[in-house]
């Protein structure tokens, strides 16, 4: 939860640099697949300072770790990877192949996937070889991305790169799966921070700018838009921190571990998907000023689709949700138990949870309906999280605005009369 709160704040300052931070944070469970590798790397991963020197990792006070999984023919489908690894005869491996998307290429080592004779396997590829010479990792070019400019991303090739195996040969996907929960959590936090950053700009601009004899924030049509945006930001924050709490408790509480496995992809799907539309609406609150590069909105806008693509694009996440339901029925039970807690508190919440149950009728839930289920389950979880941690008027506004069947939610600003706009805006406006 503390990590979550700090990442939400950090993402409001700049989202690009949080990419290497996230990968470095999330790599620890994968490194722990091999106690010897963990003993060498984890203390430097956990160091509180960044050491930018271009020298072997064992001479540095702190290191960062990247991930090189995606190949041209295989991003979501990593089993289509073609990078090969052969034993070097001394316990390590030699890698040959390419990776088409590798962010933070200045990292000290990369978690990567390559095929051995046993199947797809996870490896740690350092920048420097143990003999003190440069490893065979070549940056072919940097990517010209639409946003995320403060984070370098690259295309790389392994030309006989030296690597250590992490986890069992042939079980590479299994080795990185624990890492994925954490990177997905950081995607949720990134989008929550991006949403809050855009909201703050909209609230500030509309409270300073006057049109037609009033501050914009006091014009009823604008208040409705802002209140609706506040509801979205509150809901993103609540579900993000609820997922964080389950990550904290998972090691000692089976129910929370089960909850975490399903709630993480659900929240990742929904919060990341909501970010671009949200930022667009906040941008429009600025009028023409939102569309020019001197202000922050174009940067926030170009950043906004990223988290939904990375670590499982929309469909892939929705399909992962289906997989979790079929392979881990206890995760569904844990989410259902969570959803029961606020029952009886708001008619729209009760009705929404009732509709959600329809998906579970045999034959109703399949790949074609996976996105619908992911959306509705995430909305229900947002309601439950707000009920647990936000004031009642925020929970009630969310239920009226996002869960009522008479709100289609296609655009912001069509606000239910049950929504207490003034209190929502007052709670959200930055105090300076
Ligand atoms: C800014 C940025 C930084 C990145 N950094 C890294 C990095 O550091 N390391 C790294 O390894 N990768 C990185 N990536 C790559 C990213 O992880 C991949 O782009 C992502 O996994 C999707 O893979 P893909 O591009 O091959 O798309 P595809 O797998 O081709 O997917 C294209 C579309 O098809 C959908 N789709 C896929 N399978 C199915 C299916 N079965 N049914 C229905 N729809 C499906 C997907 O949801 C997606 O919308 C980065 C990407 C971005 C944008």
Residues 366 and 392 in one domain: yes
- C-alpha of residue 306 to centroid of ligand 1, in Å: 10
- Decide if pLDDT at 409 tops 90: no
Residues 221 and 351 in one domain: yes
Separation CA 364–CA 260 (nearest Å): 24
Residues 213 and 308 in one domain: yes
Q: Is residue 286 part of a domain?
A: yes
Residues 199 and 107 in one domain: no
Residue of the nearest CA to atom 1 in ligand 1?
Answer: 306
Using the atom order of ligand 1, give the atom closest to the CA of residue 71.
Answer: 26
Of 135, 166, 197, the residue that ends a domain is: 166
Using the atom order of ligand 1, give the atom closest to the CA of residue 147.
Answer: 1
Average pLDDT over residues 209-220: 97
Share of the chain above pLDDT 70, in %: 100
Q: Is residue 5 part of a domain?
A: no
Q: Is residue 6 part of a domain?
A: no
pLDDT for the residue numbered 359: 94
pLDDT for the residue numbered 262: 97
pLDDT for the residue numbered 408: 73
Q: Is residue 12 part of a domain?
A: no
Separation CA 186–CA 178 (nearest Å): 13
pLDDT for the residue numbered 314: 96
Question: Is the separation of the CB atoms in 30 and 166 below 8 Å?
Answer: yes
pLDDT for the residue numbered 161: 98
Residues 146 and 204 in one domain: no
Residues 254 and 380 in one domain: yes
CB within 6 Å of ligand 1 — which residues?
A: 66-70, 75-77, 101-103, 145, 148, 153, 306, 309-310, 313-316, 319
| Chain-centroid distance, C-alpha 57 | 28
Residue of the nearest CA to atom 17 in ligand 1?
Answer: 310
Residues 114 and 214 in one domain: no
Of 114, 136, 166, the residue that ends a domain is: 166
- Decide if pLDDT at 354 tops 80: yes
Residue of the nearest CA to atom 48 in ligand 1?
Answer: 313
Domain that holds residue 262: 175-428
- Decide if pLDDT at 74 tops 90: no
Q: Is residue 24 part of a domain?
A: no
- C-alpha of residue 316 to centroid of ligand 1, in Å: 9
Of 111, 142, 166, the residue that ends a domain is: 166
- C-alpha of residue 272 to centroid of ligand 1, in Å: 14
Q: Is residue 154 part of a domain?
A: yes
Using the atom order of ligand 1, give the atom closest to the CA of residue 313.
Answer: 47
The label of the residue with tokens 């600025």 reads: 286
Which of 101, 187, 319, when mutated, tests ligand 1's pocket best, judged by the most ligand atoms within 8 Å of its CB? 101
Residues 309 and 213 in one domain: yes
Q: How many domains does the chain have?
A: 2
**pLDDT bucket at 209, cuts 50 / 70 / 90:** very high
Residues 357 and 322 in one domain: yes
pLDDT for the residue numbered 127: 97
**Tens digit of each residue's pLDDT (9 = 90 or more) over 8-60:** 999 999 999 999 999 999 999 999 999 999 999 999 999 988 899 999 999 99
**Tens digit of each residue's pLDDT (9 = 90 or more) over 160-204:** 999 999 999 999 999 988 788 899 999 999 999 999 999 999 999
pLDDT for the residue numbered 177: 83
- How far from 400 is each of 72, 336, 352, 415, 419, CA to CA, in Å? 45, 21, 11, 9, 7
pLDDT for the residue numbered 430: 87
Average pLDDT over residues 101-122: 97
Q: Is residue 137 part of a domain?
A: yes
The CATH number for 393's domain is 1.20.140.10
Residues 371 and 402 in one domain: yes
Average pLDDT value for the chain: 96
pLDDT for the residue numbered 21: 94
Residue of the nearest CA to atom 43 in ligand 1?
Answer: 315
Residues 162 and 179 in one domain: no
Residues 79 and 121 in one domain: yes
Average pLDDT over residues 216-241: 98
- Decide if pLDDT at 432 tops 80: no
């Amino acid at each position: 939860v503390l990590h979550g709160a700090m990442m939400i704040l950090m993402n409001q300052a700049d989202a690009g640099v949080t990419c290497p931070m996230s990968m470095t944070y999330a790599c620890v469970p994968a490194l722990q697949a091999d106690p010897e590798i963990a003993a060498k790397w984890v203390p430097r991963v956990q160091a509180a300072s960044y050491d930018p020197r271009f020298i072997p990792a064992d001479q540095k006070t702190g290191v960062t770790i990247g991930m090189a999984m995606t190949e041209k023919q295989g991003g979501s489908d990593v089993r289509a990877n073609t990078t090969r690894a052969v034993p070097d005869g001394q316990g390590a491996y030699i890698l040959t192949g390419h990776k088409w998307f590798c962010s933070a290429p200045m990292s000290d080592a990369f978690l990567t996937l390559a095929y051995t004779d046993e199947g797809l396997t996870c490896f740690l590829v350092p920048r420097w070889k143990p003999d003190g010479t440069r490893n065979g990792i070549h940056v072919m070019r940097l990517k010209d991305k639409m946003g995320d400019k403060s984070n370098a991303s690259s295309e790389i090739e392994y030309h006989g790169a030296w690597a250590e195996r992490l986890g069992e040969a042939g079980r590479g996907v299994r080795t990185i799966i624990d890492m994925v929960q954490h990177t997905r959590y950081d995607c949720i936090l990134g989008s929550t921070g991006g949403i809050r950053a855009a909201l703050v700009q909209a609230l500030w601009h509309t409270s300073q700018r006057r049109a037609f004899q009033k501050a914009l924030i006091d014009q009823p049509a604008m208040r409705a838009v802002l209140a609706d945006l506040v509801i979205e930001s509150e809901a993103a924050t609540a579900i993000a921190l609820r997922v964080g709490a389950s990550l904290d408790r998972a090691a000692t509480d089976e129910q929370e571990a089960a909850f975490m496995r399903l709630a993480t992809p659900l929240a990742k799907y929904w919060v990341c998907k909501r970010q671009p539309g949200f930022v667009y609406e906040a941008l429009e609150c600025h009028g023409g000023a939102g569309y020019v590069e001197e202000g922050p909105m174009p940067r926030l806008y170009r950043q906004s689709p990223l988290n939904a693509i990375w670590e499982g694009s929309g469909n892939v996440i929705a399909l992962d949700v289906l997989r979790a339901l079929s392979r881990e029925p206890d995760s569904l039970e844990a989410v259902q138990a969570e959803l029961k807690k606020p029952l009886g508190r708001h008619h729209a919440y009760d009705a929404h949870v009732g509709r959600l149950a329809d998906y579970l009728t045999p034959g109703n839930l399949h790949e074609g309906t996976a996105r619908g289920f992911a959306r509705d389950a995430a909305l229900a979880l947002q309601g439950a999280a707000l009920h647990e941690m936000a004031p009642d008027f925020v929970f009630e506004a969310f239920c009226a605005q996002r869960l009522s069947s008479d709100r289609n939610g296609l655009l912001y600003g069509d606000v239910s009369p049950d929504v207490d706009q003034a209190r929502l805006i007052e709670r959200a406006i930055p105090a300076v």
